[in-house]
Structure 1
Amino acid sequence: MLERYELEAFLTLAEELHFGRTAERTHVSTARVSQTIRSLERRVGAPLFNRTSRRVELTPIGHRLYEDLKPAREMIVAGFERAVRSGRGISDTLHVGFVGAAGGQLLSGAAELLHARQPGCEVLVREVQLVDAVPLLLGGEVEVLLTCFPTERDDLHTGPALVTEARMLAVPSGHPFANRRSVSVEDLAGVTVLRTPDDLPGSQPSRQPPAEQPIESSPAAGSFQEALTLVGAGRGVLPIGAHIRRYYMRPDVAYVLLEDAPPVHWRLMWRVDGATARVRAFAAAAHDLVSSAA
């Protein structure tokens, strides 16, 4: 049976190759380290270290023992650290949120890449509603959010654009716009433009027609699906990102290019005080994933 102090003495000496530094790291005397190693060598039946007045080095048997024992110590340390983190309420799971189907695909790919780089880090990807996105982020239930709306909050950090897409206009399938290849912002004069919660980009065209013909704005819809339902019912039109026409095909809604509106930029957002190494590693994985696909 190998005692814990024997394990630490051997592994530490194998790393330091110096009895004095080993004694300092294990908080015992140099004589105690030497005595422990000699005891181990007697039990093994062969030297584990070659010692001279100038150097200490592992023998082949000692090197093999070190390679066998090192992973076991790492597993013990990692297991204890996980227990400590759990006891303090610190999760090993990174919680990331997205709005819209395309965002889920991107985050899932980034999660797989991060797990390949850091097998001990699990990523939980969840969909959030527009109205809940920022509150969940600020409340800590979501640590990273893929979003298309800007923020000027000092407590939130927004990363560089990962994906950029054209801005489209969702219109009722029977609307005159539905038969056109594109419309301009000026064409929206006098047209009711629906809004999603918090006026997210895509819910307003960012440019306004001349002041004498303002865009008519409606109350905000409670969710994106609700907004599309209102569009289909002829209650108004809705500016959206181009990916919507692929993931939200509806017989009562047509999608037309909004030609002179600025594009939609998708970015990762996280709390300034939550910029952990794990969050930064996930952001790097998402950036690398997008770059490799470009």
Structure 2
Amino acid sequence: MSGLDIRELECFLVLAEELHFGRTGERLYLTQGRVSQLVRSLEQRVGARLVERTSRRVRLTPLGEQFLAGLRPAYDGLRAVLDTTRAAARGVEGSLRLGFQCTANDHLMNAVALFQERYPRCAVEMTEVPLSDPFGPLRRGEVDLAAVLMPIAEEDLVVGAVFSRGQQTLAVSSRHPFARRSSVSAEELGDCVLIGVRSAAPRYWRATLAPTTTPAGRPIPAGPTMDTLQEGLTLAAANRGALLLCQPTAEYHRRHALTFVPVTGLPDSELGLTWCRDHETARVRAFAQVLSEVAEPTADALSA
């Protein structure tokens, strides 16, 4: 590959089509002498004749035919890569698959609307990411990026904007003893059963939704587990346990059979936009930039 000249290869490919030095020069905007020079230079690099030229005709040698058969697909592949890269450089096009957990409210949708306005040739497809598998859809290529509950401590994932910070809230059945309370403390979680997340999610991440101990170290009884928010809300409504949620999600999912009680003494919940480090594209970077512009740390963009 040392000293490879793409002009020599292009000249050979055109000459193989035209089999005429004059017409080859016209197509490449070169003189006939320059075409001959490029072909001779390529033959010297190869170490053998690739083209036979007589006063009557031009044709490829058997080695030239073999060289053409290998060069054409390789050159076409190189051009395809170049064309794709140029398209990406000109703008963000195609489709972007955005994963979200549980609820996408107006703030996140405003980010999507701004992205669509800024990049009208890129369509955003939104897909709910299950609580039980927050990072799996990213790794399987089902979504390009996702807004999920923090913390995110995965080496293969990049964390962009962190947003939608809010107080944690306990969803309980209207029959639960806490349903009559104006608030409960983090220590009082030791007196109730918490609904957890199934084991596909990392342990540290599951502990955000269902801690096993209070801040002082009291054990918190483990209850049934869920895959999705709706499953968790149904379990809570049936008085099978209590479910920790951030405040925006609690407000969005208010219903007659559930009561939402603020919890004091726990860190605020927050969301992070994340994507696979090895799958970063111009579309991903563009959306991350838009979200960072519109998502303030305390904004209600999306809840889990």
TM-score bucket (shorter structure) = 0.5 to 0.7
2:123 is aligned to 122
Deviations along 1:68-97, whole A, 9 cap, x unmatched? Answer: xxxxxxxxxxxx958x99xxxxx8111111
1:268 is matched with 273
Residues of 1 paired with 2:221 and 2:122: CA distance?
A: 48
Secondary structure at the counterpart of residue 236 of structure 1: coil
What is the percent sequence identity of the aligned residues? 32
Hey, what does 2:189 align to over in structure 1?
188
Shift of 1:164: 0.7
Contact 1:149–1:200 (Cα < 8 Å) also in 2? no
Asked whether 1:247 is paired with 2:252, we answer yes
Q: Distance in 1 between matches of 2:107 and 2:285?
A: 16
Q: What SS does structure 1 have at the residue aligned with 2:175?
A: coil
State the shift of 1:267 in Å. 1.0
Q: Secondary structure at the match of 1:130?
A: coil
Alpha-carbon contact 1:203-1:240 (below 8 Å) kept: yes
- Give the aligned partner of residue 102 of structure 2: 100
Match for residue 285 of structure 2? 280
Secondary structure of residue in 2 paired with 1:112: helix
CA RMSD across the alignment? 3.0
Alignment of 1:27-176 (within 5 A): 27-29=28-30, 92-101=94-103, 103=104, 105-176=106-177
Aligned match for 1:204, one of 210, 214, 218: 210
Following TM superposition, by how much is the alpha carbon of 1:254 offset from its aligned partner in structure 2, in angstroms? 0.5
| Greater relative CO, 1 or 2 (CA 8 Å, sep 6+) | 2
Q: TM-score, normalised by structure 2?
A: 0.62
The partner residue of 2:243 within 223, 238, 250 is 238
Separation (CA, whole Å) in 2 of partners of 1:119 and 1:201? 40
Closer, same or farther: CA 201–118 of 1 in aligned 2, 3 Å? farther
Give, in whole Å, the separation in 2 of the partners of 1:210 and 1:133: 28
Q: Deviations over 1:95-128 (max 9, x none)?
A: 1111122x25444322221222222222111223
In structure 2, the residue matched to 1:216 is 221
Tell me if the contact between 1:205 and 1:239 (Cα under 8 Å) persists in the aligned partners: no
- The code of the aligned residue for 2:244 comes to P
How many residues are treated as equivalent by the alignment? 213
Partner residue in 2 for 1:44: none
Q: What secondary structure does 1:281 align onto?
A: helix
Q: How far did 1:238 drift?
A: 1.2
- Structure 1 residue runs of 5 or longer lacking an equivalent are 1-25, 31-79, 86-90
* TM norm structure 1: 0.64
**8 Å Cα contact 1:205/1:261 also seen in 2:** no
Distance 1:143-1:158 versus aligned 2 partners, 3 A rule: same
**Farther-moved stretch of structure 1 (214-223 vs 256-265):** 214-223
